[in-house]
A and B are shown apart, each in its own frame.
Chain A
Amino acid sequence: MTSDGPPPNEKSLWRQFSDSRVLLLMCLPATLFFLVFNYAPMPGAWIAFTNFNYRDGIFGSPFVGFKNFEFLIKSGQLWTLTRNTILYNLAFIVLGNLLQIAIAIMLNEIRSAFFKKISQAAMFLPFFISAVLVGVIAFNLLNYDTGAINALIKQTGGDPIKIYSMAGIWPLIIITVHLWQSTGYGSIVYFAAIMGIDRSLYEAAAIDGASAWQRIRHVTLPSLKPTFIILVLFSLGGIMHGNFGLFWNLVGNNAGLFQTTDIIETSVYRMVLSQNNFTTSTAVGLYQSLFGFALVMTANWIVRRINRDYALF
């Protein structure tokens, strides 16, 4: 905070506390959840600096400093992995939010209530399909010998394509699948935000002779800006965390595609867990979290410089 000074009639902490006891009680479950699942395990990150063995436990195992982090650098993949993870997440965040906004606006413009419900439900459904099934569906669509796409190509006289050997097109496939799964769900938040926009703004715009497009451009979009910024900031916190289920089930162990599809999670899963090694996986997790933390702080700082009201803190 800057030099605003305390408000003139500041209540004592205890007073504030007792005044808001009902509200505090209501947020107790969430607070407990974060304490138990996010804060309590934090000391466990110490594993990353030890040569962990089961008998001595987390804090009894010998300390080895940064040795566990060496493997990240040694494997020479740190750069590829970080790059892939960030680029995929950027694509998910930017394209995802734009598409969600577009869908929410289009839903809002649909006049038939029945059709609106149907389209919403249809877009929502893919969210409930597990990644394992998505992987199976993708394999049955894309594989060379019996896949639906190649069957179609063969039937029409073309040469089948080896999709599972073409690393170049996988970013496209993964992003498409991700958007297909998540857009319907994500658009709900924007749709709710649109519902919350003051109707009188639209009426005023209509009286001023604004077309439908102009109402969207000058009323809806600006009103969605705070929601957009908050959602983007939240998702930036997870920019170092990939959608493991999706990547693993689509790509699996096909090393031919790793160059463009390997993210931190899948790489760790392959090389660390099969190596029976908790320490290096914790090291990677810590690297991921610290990097993600730095990114959120930076993004928030930039937003605050532009418009303080939009910043998270």
Chain B
Amino acid sequence: MKRRTIVKLGAALLALGVSNSALVAGAQAQDAPTEITMLTLGNKPTNGRLEAMLEKLNERLVQQANVKLDLFYIEWADWQTQYNVQLLSGDDNVDLIATATDWLFGWENAEKGAFLPLSEEMLKTHAPKTWAQVDAKGHWDLTKFDGQIYFMPEDNYTQYTNHGFFYRGDWAKEAGFANGEISKLEDFTTYFDWIKKNKSDVYPWDASASAGKDAILAAYMQSHTDLQTLQQVTAGNFFPFQTSAKDPYKVASYLMEGDELLAAAQLTKKWNEIGVWREDALNYDGDTREEFYAGRSGADQHHTQTYVTQIVNNMNTKQPGSDPKFFWWGKENGNFFKDIFTHGAMAVSANSKHPEKALEVYDLIRNDKENYMLFNFGIEGTDYVLTADGKLGYPEGYDSSTDGLGTNYWWGRMDEFEPPKTSDAPNKAEIIAALDSQAKDYPYSTLIVSKSAIDPTLAAIGGVLSEYLPQLENGKFDDPAAAIAEMREKLKAVGWDEAVASIQSDMDKWAAARGLK
């Protein structure tokens, strides 16, 4: 280095007032930190809290592995489509990709080559703690496609994401339900009817287009049959195939056989006539949850985790005395599942320029408590506070609707790092216990359905379903029986049987290999 350059550099550093420690750190790091981008889901927060947290976290990450982390969001509007398009576009700016095999197209994208196969060697070297923890539980097998590991599962975190209705116990009580408890899907007719008659400016359930594609139809199927949905196969945004618990290795579907679909459609038709949702629910895109919080909707539809972490707390603050309750699909007959271990997982992009660094970042966030707290909950004092009894709470004036950190890290949470929260539902333990006593283990975690052969058929099936199911769901057909018959005919015409046969053969092979059949 020439003397002049050194002098200039020194002057510049002095002028910037760089502290001693930064100089030392800079000297240690030498190279500029590698930038790693993590793709996650959710609306990018705009309250500045995310950036503040990342700044702190990155200081630590630079120290620990000389990397910097940034987030890339797939926003909720049309997220299924946006997610897949983003992955297949081959963008090499994304290194870590959030995924899931039951709801976020994990297997499909592994099959299409969007993810980097992760060798044991790589994992052991660059994500050693994650490797050891998952290995100890014997869960790596759950992430293999064609014998290769494709993601790191969120297998050390207890949660339920089975769906159901959130509703108001205070109104249910007034509608005549003892303790405000509704225990049957059909009983919601009474509840909705009561709201319609007694609360003039409230929609009994202000369902929006994106929420209500087939939720009630599937809920009815769950409550009235022993059918178990195959989470591996989607057609469009629908999950059309099931097996029966009595005959667990034969592919079936309530969409094609039986009378449950019609019964469900008749129920939704009744609800539509009552005016449970807006007449134009199919075109309505509002935020149902905020409506529920605002007391303008009598119900909302999502899963247990949302209920215990958000709904109870928000309703108790925003609608005191509303006694928010949760009715989960299949509560009547125990027909629902525990979460699979790949309900959340992290993959490395096949196009990442720094896959090793990406693994290191993930390992550091997942296994370093301080990083974990920063990334999940933000900065202590501004984003959260710890109460005297060790619970995680929020500072004065904090509103989770607007002040959320929004990292949406659902891809590697760890039970041991999760503090109990003041916002948790007081009855969380009770609910989890109730679910534990009923829930079944999903039997098909390792079943991989090869879809490339039937892709066009599934696309065509998805097309037909997207035409009929939302209308059935919202009770829009004058004659649901005729509509269902028509739909079934069309499904046959686009190759339904061929798709079933192909899935069945995968099922047969899988069952045979495991000695199940």
Contact = CB atoms under 8 A, between A and B. Distances in A.
Interface stretch (A36-44, A69-77, A235-243): A69-77
A276 B279 contact: no
A74 B111 CA distance: 25
A278 B88 CA distance: 8
A255 B456 contact: no
Contact of A71 (B109, B234, B284, B460): B460
Contact of B112 (A77, A254, A276): A276
A142 to B, nearest CB: 8
Interface stretch (A49-57, A199-207, A286-294): A49-57
A253 interface: yes
A74 B457 contact: yes
B91 to A, nearest CB: 12
Interface string B449-485: 0001001111110111011101100001000000000
B209 interface: yes
A256 B476 contact: yes
Interface residues on B, range: 35 or more
Interface stretch (B78-86, B186-194, B407-415, B418-426): B78-86
A244 B224 CA distance: 41
A120 interface: no
Given A75-B463, A253-B466, A275-B455, A54 B283 contact: no
B113 interface: yes
A26 B280 CA distance: 53
A256 B471 contact: yes
A273 B85 CA distance: 7
Contacts of B118: none
Contacts of B235: 275
A280 B457 contact: no
B458 A275 contact: yes
A144 B279 contact: yes
B475 to A, nearest CB: 11
A136 B270 CA distance: 29
B114 interface: yes
Contact of A274 (B462, B464, B468): B462
A165 B474 CA distance: 12
Interface stretch (B256-264, B384-392, B490-498): B490-498
B176 interface: no
A276 B278 contact: no
A54 B463 contact: no
B278 A274 contact: no
Contact of B84 (A143, A255, A276): A276
A145 B278 contact: yes
A114 B284 CA distance: 42
Nearest to A165: B476
A75 B466 contact: no
Contacts of B464: 75
A75 B237 contact: no
A74 B493 CA distance: 7
B236 interface: yes
A55 B113 contact: yes
A77 B495 CA distance: 14
A162 interface: yes
B282 interface: yes
Given A275-B236, A276-B88, A164 B494 contact: no
A53 B81 CA distance: 18
B476 A276 contact: no
Nearest to A283: B456
A310 B81 CA distance: 44
Contacts of B495: 74
A258 interface: yes
Contacts of A99: none
A18 interface: no
A285 interface: no
A108 interface: no
A34 interface: no
Contact of A280 (B80, B284, B459): B459
Given A76-B490, A254-B283, A273-B81, A143 B112 contact: no
B456 A271 contact: no
Contacts of B209: 252-254
Contact of B456 (A71, A258, A278): A71
A180 interface: no
B478 to A, nearest CB: 10
B104 to A, nearest CB: 11
A271 B463 contact: yes
Contact of A54 (B90, B282, B459): B90
A252 B283 contact: yes
Contacts of A272: 459
Contact of B282 (A51, A70, A256, A278): A256
Contacts of B452: 51, 53
A252 B464 CA distance: 16
Contact of B108 (A251, A256, A276): A276
Contacts of B85: 273
A267 B463 CA distance: 8
B280 A145 contact: yes
A144 to B, nearest CB: 3
B282 A255 contact: yes
B145 interface: no
Interface string B494-505: 110000000000
Given A54-B88, A54-B113, 5 more contacts: A68-B456, A74-B495, A144-B279, A255-B282, A276-B105
18 contacts: A54-B114, A55-B350, A68-B456, A74-B456, A74-B460, A143-B278, A164-B280, A164-B283, A165-B279, A252-B282, A253-B209, A253-B282, A254-B209, A256-B476, A270-B466, A271-B462, A274-B236, A279-B456
Interface of A: 51-56, 67-68, 70-71, 74-77, 139, 143-145, 162, 164-165, 251-256, 258, 267, 269-280
Nearest 7 pairs between A and B by C-beta?
Answer: A54-B113, A144-B279, A55-B113, A71-B456, A271-B463, A254-B282, A276-B84
